[in-house]
Structure 1
Amino acid sequence: MKAWRGRGALLLLAGLLAGAQAQAEEKRERHGWDITVEANTDFPLSVGGRLGIESPWRLRLSTSLGYLPEAYVRLVNDAAVELGAYGRNEADLIEESLKNSLVWRTHVGWRPFPRAGFYLEGGYGLVALGGDTNAEEVLVTLTGVSPPIGESVLDRVYRVRSVLHMLDVELGWRWGLGAGWTARTAVGAAFTLDSNSRIEPQFVPEVPVLVTGFARLAEGYLDRTFERYVHLPVLSFSLGYAF
């Protein structure tokens, strides 16, 4: 008897979800356009908000804005080091540079089946990194670039900023929960295509050419590290409301 009750509860839940999905589809067909605002996380890239628009032809456009939590970077780095993808030095450099970054992603896509929530999307991701100030010895340790010999200014610090340009792909499913509420999950990947780093001294150098040379070498090391290693699987979860 308990087994039959459990099966009955599962069938009832499946029916409610199917009904909610059908109601969402009927609502979409009535007004033609679907606009959804979501609270969203794209692990391990960002936590933030997302705006999605779907046309009557099931063509999709979405944009999200969030930040990259330090805990996300640490989890990915620990796993990568354990698997031998890269070493602890590269992990420390990535963590120091990526944590608390601003992340903006914009996708276009299509929902191929009128009565199903499955969709596919692809697009562009922008990760704006840092702006933090780092002591010269920290940069030397992280990049392995030799410090400028002959520069006598003490307590030399630099502002480090980077921008990553990424290619995103995503396969997902959206459910209607009833009364306009929605849930969404997706799997995908983000690939770093290009990195632009800038390291600027926050002091007046006595030998500018040496300090500039050190900064350019460190920038090159940062960019090579990001372009080689920052390619991530992405798992997304969202809760939203459709208008």
Structure 2
Amino acid sequence: MKARGGVGALLLLAGLVAGAEARAEEKQGHGWDITVEANTDFPLSVGGRVGVESPWRLRLSTSLGYLPAAYVRAVNDVAVELGAYERDRATLIEEALQSSLVWRTHVGWRPFPSAGFYVEGGYGLVALGGETNPEDVLVALTGVEPPVGESVLNREYRVRSVLHMVDVELGWRWGLGSGWTMRTALGAAFTLDSNSRVEPQFEPSQPLLVTAFSRFAEGYLDRTFEEYVHFPVLSLSLGYAF
């Protein structure tokens, strides 16, 4: 009887261990990690970010924010000091990168189960402008000849641009306890394509000349963004994981 009782106890213990392992495997195989963050990607944006990680450590994230003017000035000051471009072009970039909406979406992978290191890459969309600029400002910044023969004073144009970018980053996430997380990353953003619109905010007496001026200004803006708006990105986030 004692032997049968001992065997029964061993079988019960084995069953409990097997059940615990099965539950652990089930949790590992079906666990999902969702994190909401307050985030900055210097010098690109300040805003919020939502990230999802699957049980296989595949990652998906999306963020929405705006581009602070202080970030643009900081990058331009460094670029001018290093001789990357002249002050006039820096001023053009500062004038254009206003009222900016920045949206980024990444996919990635965390290769090591016990470490916070991850790799991500994806797409970024930067919507700029909606600002109204006097004609003399556009002329001074772009060097494009203004339309002649117009009798309207204080001619103004609405300037808008959309940049399509590709982003890559290497990062690390820490657990701070009680669901709180911190994340930092170093990456880069590259402008692949720019679509600008320069629209007169007046009724032109010489429509063809004004249209030609607008198209030349658009081309100059697009060439500037596609050639010069590429930069390293330093990310820092504080979040909460569910």
Structure 1 length-normalised TM = 0.87
Contact conserved, 1:70 with 1:100, CA < 8 A, in 2? Answer: no
Name the CA distance, whole Å, in 1 between partners of 2:234 and 2:56: 26
Match of 2:83 in 1: 84
Contact conserved, 1:111 with 1:120, CA < 8 A, in 2? Answer: yes
1:58 maps onto 2:34 in alignment: no
Name the CA distance, whole Å, in 2 between partners of 1:31 and 1:180: 19
Contact conserved, 1:48 with 1:66, CA < 8 A, in 2? Answer: yes
| Amino acid in structure 1 at the alignment position of 2:120 | E
Runs of 4+ in 1 over 3 A off after TM superposition: 28-31
Q: CA deviation at 1:152?
A: 1.5
1:75 maps onto 2:71 in alignment: no
Q: Matched residue of 1:85: which SS? A: coil
Q: CA deviation at 1:154?
A: 1.3
Name the CA distance, whole Å, in 1 between partners of 2:203 and 2:98: 28
Contact conserved, 1:73 with 1:99, CA < 8 A, in 2? Answer: no
1:191 maps onto 2:196 in alignment: no
Instruction: Let me know the Cα RMSD of the aligned residues.
Output: 1.2
Name the CA distance, whole Å, in 1 between partners of 2:89 and 2:224: 7
Match of 1:108 in 2: 107
| Cα deviation 1:72-119 (Å, max 9, x = unaligned) | 000000000000011101100001111341100000000000000000
Match of 1:142 in 2: 141
Q: CA deviation at 1:150?
A: 1.1
Q: Matched residue of 2:149: which SS? A: coil
| Amino acid in structure 2 at the alignment position of 1:156 | R
Q: Matched residue of 1:125: which SS? A: strand
1:127 maps onto 2:141 in alignment: no
Distance 1:181 1:30, change over 3 A: farther
Contact conserved, 1:60 with 1:108, CA < 8 A, in 2? Answer: yes
- Of structures 1 and 2, the larger Rg is shown by 2
Q: Flag structure 1 segments of 5+ consecutive residues without an equivalent.
A: 1-25
Name the CA distance, whole Å, in 2 between partners of 1:91 and 1:117: 38
| Amino acid in structure 1 at the alignment position of 2:154 | D
| Amino acid in structure 1 at the alignment position of 2:235 | S
Match of 2:40 in 1: 41
Q: Matched residue of 1:194: which SS? A: strand
Match of 1:200 in 2: 199
User: How many residues get paired?
Assistant: 217
Match of 1:215 in 2: 214
| Amino acid in structure 1 at the alignment position of 2:239 | G
Contact conserved, 2:66 with 2:102, CA < 8 A, in 1? Answer: yes
Match of 1:19 in 2: none
Q: After the TM superposition, which residues 162-173 of structure 1 pair with which residues of structure 2 at under 5 Å, given as runs?
A: 162-173=161-172
Q: Matched residue of 1:53: which SS? A: strand
Name the CA distance, whole Å, in 1 between partners of 2:99 and 2:46: 10
Name the CA distance, whole Å, in 2 between partners of 1:216 and 1:114: 53
Q: Matched residue of 2:157: which SS? A: strand
Match of 2:22 in 1: none
Q: CA deviation at 1:31?
A: 5.5
Contact conserved, 1:185 with 1:237, CA < 8 A, in 2? Answer: yes
Contact conserved, 2:102 with 2:125, CA < 8 A, in 1? Answer: yes
Q: CA deviation at 1:50?
A: 0.2
Q: Matched residue of 1:152: which SS? A: coil
Q: CA deviation at 1:188?
A: 0.1
Match of 2:10 in 1: none
Contact conserved, 2:29 with 2:55, CA < 8 A, in 1? Answer: no
Contact conserved, 2:104 with 2:123, CA < 8 A, in 1? Answer: yes
Stretch of structure 1 that moved more, 113-122 or 91-100 = 91-100
Q: Matched residue of 1:200: which SS? A: strand
Q: Matched residue of 1:39: which SS? A: strand
| Amino acid in structure 1 at the alignment position of 2:46 | V
Name the CA distance, whole Å, in 2 between partners of 1:99 and 1:199: 15
Q: Matched residue of 2:36: which SS? A: strand
| Amino acid in structure 1 at the alignment position of 2:66 | Y
